[in-house]
């Protein structure tokens, strides 16, 4: 089996692999790690006489996972196609402002506000995609450049939070069913939609193909440019949804809500932690959600244990590199066996 073929095949069709190896895909590892983390965390928090997974704890983990999850779903798509997006953090801030300013406290403007924010997000994604495919700038620089332009716009036009979200719309950010926030369910629904799109539709299949090997994809008739542009538009729309969600939670738009949270690098970390190959072509949304949940759970455990915030960064860094090293080892092992077969 050659490297080339292996990469063009999407995850789901790797049916020729022995069952053992299929069982331990990165996605499975992520969720096993999540379970292990929850167990260890519960014990550690339990030692302090508290409960990790009580109503508040679950609410906390899911709330934390919502915004990052939405961004990471979009980031998964661009990374799968072999690209990446460094502009999402500023875009989150921008769309939160557009949504909140359009609504301006009026219930009737909720729908226009949401639509306008999404339209602007899609436009930014389109620009990202076109700069990459038509101007042929590589994605790192293209999206970094767009991020800088968005930053300039935000700095020039805003001096802090602006706009006002009507109270009715704030229910999106605050309502919950038992311990599960409604917004987290919507995020999971978005993830399910993305999963369906990536694994059950032709355009989704094309994303894997382009990420696997763009030349092969082009030769086999995949409209590579369109696929990349689509991935970027979808990624930006996901960032737009995040901005809208945060606007509903904050009650107004905030220019730096995305950058303060570091959604650009953190979403990439979550995607990679979830087992998606940074080079593209392999992975998926299910793993990403696992990665996001791991990061959110870590945060919640750290808070319960009152860990020094600087120590958190150290752990995050180590976890990220360790996880990716594990996936890499697995791939090496499976490929070695693949060659023997």
Taking CB under 8 A as the criterion, which residues in 226-255 touch other proteins? 228, 246, 249-252, 254-255
Nearest to 255 by CA among 169, 166, 155: 155
Q: Rank residues 41 and 161 by Cβ distance to other proteins and give the closer one.
A: 161
- Positive or negative torsion for Cα 31, 32, 37, 42: positive
3-class SS of residue 162: strand
Q: Rank residues 205 and 256 by Cβ distance to other proteins and give the closer one.
A: 256
Q: Rank residues 19 and 340 by Cβ distance to other proteins and give the closer one.
A: 340
Q: How far apart are CA 255 and CA 251, in angstroms?
A: 13
Query: Which of 100-119 are b and which e, b meaning 16 or more Cβ less than 10 Å from the residue's Cβ?
Result: bbbbeeeeebbeebbebbbe
* Alpha-carbon 208 to chain mean position: 17
Compute the chain's Rg from CA coordinates.
20
User: Using the rule CB under 8 A, which residue among 146, 235, 294, 295 binds other proteins?
Assistant: 146
Residue 24 binds to other proteins (criterion: CB under 8 A): no
Q: How far apart are CA 221 and CA 227, in angstroms?
A: 12
Site for other proteins in 255-274 (CB under 8 A): 255-257, 260-261, 265, 268-269, 272
* Alpha-carbon 255 to chain mean position: 20
Q: How far apart are CA 153 and CA 53, in angstroms?
A: 42
Residue 280 binds to other proteins (criterion: CB under 8 A): yes
Count of alpha carbons within 13 angstroms of residue 280, beta-carbon side:
25
Q: Rank residues 56 and 223 by Cβ distance to other proteins and give the closer one.
A: 56
Q: What backbone torsions phi and psi does residue 181 show, to the nearest 5 degrees?
A: -65, 140
Binding region for other proteins (CB under 8 A) out of 39-47, 194-202, 287-295, 310-318:
310-318
Q: At 91, which helix (H) or strand (E)?
A: helix 88-103
Closest distance to other proteins from the beta carbon of 234 (Å): 18
Residue 310 binds to other proteins (criterion: CB under 8 A): yes
Residue 149 binds to other proteins (criterion: CB under 8 A): yes
x-marked contacts with other proteins along 125-144 as a string, rule CB under 8 A:
------xxx-xxxxxxxx-x
x-marked contacts with other proteins along 1-20 as a string, rule CB under 8 A:
-xxx--x-------------
Q: How far apart are CA 209 and CA 217, in angstroms?
A: 6
Nearest to 209 by CA among 220, 200, 196: 220
User: Using the rule CB under 8 A, which residue among 112, 325, 333, 337 binds other proteins?
Assistant: 325
On whether the CB atoms of residues 311 and 303 are closer than 8 A, the answer is no
Closest distance to other proteins from the beta carbon of 115 (Å): 23
Closest distance to other proteins from the beta carbon of 112 (Å): 22
Q: Give the list of residues 6+ apart from residue 32 with CB closer than 8 angstroms, or none.
A: none
User: Using the rule CB under 8 A, which residue among 176, 185, 186, 197 binds other proteins?
Assistant: 176
Site for other proteins in 26-85 (CB under 8 A): 55-57, 59-60, 63-64, 67, 82-84
User: Using the rule CB under 8 A, which residue among 12, 167, 200, 337 binds other proteins?
Assistant: 167
User: Using the rule CB under 8 A, which residue among 46, 314, 333, 337 binds other proteins?
Assistant: 314
Closest distance to other proteins from the beta carbon of 161 (Å): 4
């Amino acid at each position: 089996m050659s490297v080339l073929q292996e990469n063009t095949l999407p995850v789901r069709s790797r049916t020729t692999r022995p069952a053992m190896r299929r069982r331990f895909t990165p996605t499975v590892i992520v969720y096993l790690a999540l379970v292990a983390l929850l167990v260890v965390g519960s014990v550690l928090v339990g030692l302090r006489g508290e409960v990790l997974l009580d109503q508040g704890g679950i609410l906390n983990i899911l709330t934390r996972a919502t915004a990052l999850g939405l961004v990471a779903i979009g980031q998964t798509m661009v990374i799968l196609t072999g690209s990446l997006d460094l502009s999402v953090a500023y875009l989150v801030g921008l769309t939160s402002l557009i949504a909140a300013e359009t609504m301006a406290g009026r219930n009737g403007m909720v729908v226009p506000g949401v639509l306008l924010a999404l339209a602007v997000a899609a436009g930014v994604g389109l620009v990202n995609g076109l700069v990459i495919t038509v101007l042929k700038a590589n994605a790192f620089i293209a999206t970094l450049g767009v991020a800088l332009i968005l930053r300039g716009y935000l700095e020039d036009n805003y001096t802090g939070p602006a706009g006002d979200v009507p109270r009715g719309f704030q229910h999106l950010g605050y309502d919950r069913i038992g311990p599960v926030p409604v917004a987290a369910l919507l995020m999971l629904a978005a993830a399910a939609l993305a999963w369906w799109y990536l694994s059950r539709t032709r355009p989704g299949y094309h994303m894997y193909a382009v990420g696997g090997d763009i030349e092969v994809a082009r030769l086999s008739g995949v409209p590579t440019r369109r696929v990349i542009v689509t991935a970027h538009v979808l990624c930006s729309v996901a960032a737009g949804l995040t901005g809208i969600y945060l606007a509903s939670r904050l009650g107004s738009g905030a220019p730096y809500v995305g950058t303060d949270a570091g959604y650009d690098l953190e979403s990439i970390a979550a995607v990679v932690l979830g087992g998606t190959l940074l080079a593209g072509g392999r992975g998926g949304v299910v793993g990403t959600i696992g990665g996001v949940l791991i990061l959110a759970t870590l945060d919640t455990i750290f808070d319960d244990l009152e860990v020094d915030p600087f120590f958190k960064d150290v752990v995050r860094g180590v976890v990220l590199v360790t996880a990716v090293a594990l996936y890499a080892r697995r791939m090496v092992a499976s490929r070695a066996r693949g060659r023997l077969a």
